[in-house]
Structure 1
Amino acid sequence: MLIIGIDPGISGSICFLKDGRILDVVEMPTMTEGKKNKKQVNGSQIYNEIKHRTEKIDKNDIKVVIEQVSAMPGQGVTSMFNFGQSFGILKGICSAMQLPMYFVRPAKWKKYFNLINSEKDASRTKAIEIFPYFSSNLAKKKDSNKADAILIASFFFETFRNDE
């Protein structure tokens, strides 16, 4: 089974996990928008990244797991709108590709990995512990978003039971 774990948002990432092994992790494709060069997710490139890695795989063997995001206290209206827009783009792409989607709240996967109330960088440490062969790809502090995508996919891999 191929699990596509997605940490949505401008600075998120997409992890491709096949049978419990990381195939690849890509940073969320973005593009600039408007005069102020604000970033937004690049839906076309997200589609290409997923299509490229799934075209030879039966759709029944693919599961897309997206972190279920919602508004957070203290976040600006514009940033929350952009976050929601990114989430919607991801749902739309997966729907159009007819890929089954599952949603997991951050508290659920973080609790599973004992990351509640921990530093943002703790997910990177946890991902390196679980996947030491991938540690060179998680060397920088900014790679914590890649780690989140990895852990989202890994959580689903470890807890999902195929009842079909």
Structure 2
Amino acid sequence: MTTLRLTIGIDPGISGAIAVLADGEAGPIIDMPLLGEDREVDARQVAMFIRAARDLHPGASVSAVIERVRAMPPKDGERRAGAQSSFNFGDHYGKAKAVLELLGIPYTRAEPASWKRQFGLTGQPKDASRVLAIQRFPTVAAELKRKKDNGRADALLIALYGEQRLASGVAA
């Protein structure tokens, strides 16, 4: 059977991941590839993963959804990410976007609050997305069995969010 649509979901954080949905079903998933001691996103590996997924489904329409990240300055005495970690997070986001642009893959950005609200994850523990992804995509449950696999779960749900928004005629 020919795949008509590939949707790539990207959670761009250092503990993030990249997931592919093929006609709404979970495909390959990888943890965000990182380079060396600096633990920077390995844009080359990201591109190779996306190309390989695309090559498995020739002729499929390909799009991506990337979680939009922003600096989180402190408010009301609350501790947030420091300047360096915010810069690094933005760098990872930029590298993922650049890979999509270079590969000619159209993408939309998903606000964390929006995609989490759509799936009832607002205010839930971080592990709730992993539990939901296992329920929605039981074929990849083995790839989501550890608590630290929440980045993989987020990437799957970000892709699903994009697909659902597209199906309803609303941009992600």
TM-score in terms of structure 2 length: 0.87
* Partner residue in 2 for 1:133: 139
Q: How does 1:107-118 map to 2 (within 5 A)?
A: 107-118=113-124
Match of 1:23 among 17, 24, 27: 27
Q: Residues 162 and 118 (structure 1 numbering): CA distance in 2 closer, same or farther, change over 3 Å?
A: closer
Identity fraction in percent: 38
Q: How does 1:1-164 map to 2 (within 5 A)?
A: 1-32=5-36, 37-55=37-55, 56-58=57-59, 61-73=61-73, 74-161=80-167
The residue identity in structure 2 corresponding to 1:141 is K
- Structure 2: how far apart are the matches of 1:85 and 1:91? 10
Structure 1: where are the runs of 5+ without partners? Answer: none
- Structure 2: how far apart are the matches of 1:28 and 1:120? 18
Structure 2: where are the runs of 5+ without partners? Answer: 74-79
SS at match of 1:99: coil
138-147 or 70-79, larger mean C-alpha shift: 70-79
* CA RMSD of superposed structures (Å): 1.4
- Structure 2: how far apart are the matches of 1:162 and 1:138? 28
SS at match of 1:160: helix
Query: Which contiguous aligned blocks of 4+ residues in structure 1 show a shift greater than 6 angstroms?
Result: none
Once the two structures are superposed, residues 57-95 of structure 1 have per-residue CA deviations (whole angstroms, 9 ceiling, x without a partner) of 347x00110001111231011111111011111111111
- Structure 2: how far apart are the matches of 1:31 and 1:51? 19
- Structure 1: how far apart are the matches of 2:120 and 2:65? 19
- Structure 2: how far apart are the matches of 1:49 and 1:19? 18
